[in-house]
Amino acid sequence: MANGAASVKAVAALRGRWHRTIMSGPARSTPDDRAERLAQQLRENLKRRKAQARAVQDVSKSAAESPADENQ
């Protein structure tokens, strides 16, 4: 049983070192990086919304034109 306890302590010690290294390392991103990522995401979102609005408009436009073409 002592062998199992020793391995648990060894794993805990390694995990503690890993946690301290990760948590005390350099920050993942600076506020400028965050603002840049946010701006990029907003641009992509706007492009998606515009494309979706164009698609909806095209579908409704073609649906409105179809019955008029059949009557002629």
**pLDDT tens-place string over residues 30-42:** 888 999 999 999 9
Q: Which structural domain range is residue 25 located in?
A: 2-71
- Residue 26 pLDDT: 64
The parts of the chain modelled with pLDDT lower than 50 are 1
Q: How far apart are CA 34 and CA 28, in angstroms?
A: 10
Q: How far apart are CA 40 and CA 26, in angstroms?
A: 23
Q: How far apart are CA 62 and CA 54, in angstroms?
A: 12
The pTM for the full model equals 0.47
Q: How far apart are CA 25 and CA 18, in angstroms?
A: 11
- Residue 28 pLDDT: 66
Count of domains forming the chain: 1
Q: Buried (b) or exposed (e) across 33-69, using 16+ Cβ within 10 A?
A: eeeeeeeeeeeeeeeeeeeeeeeeeeeeeeeeeeeee
- Residue 70 pLDDT: 54
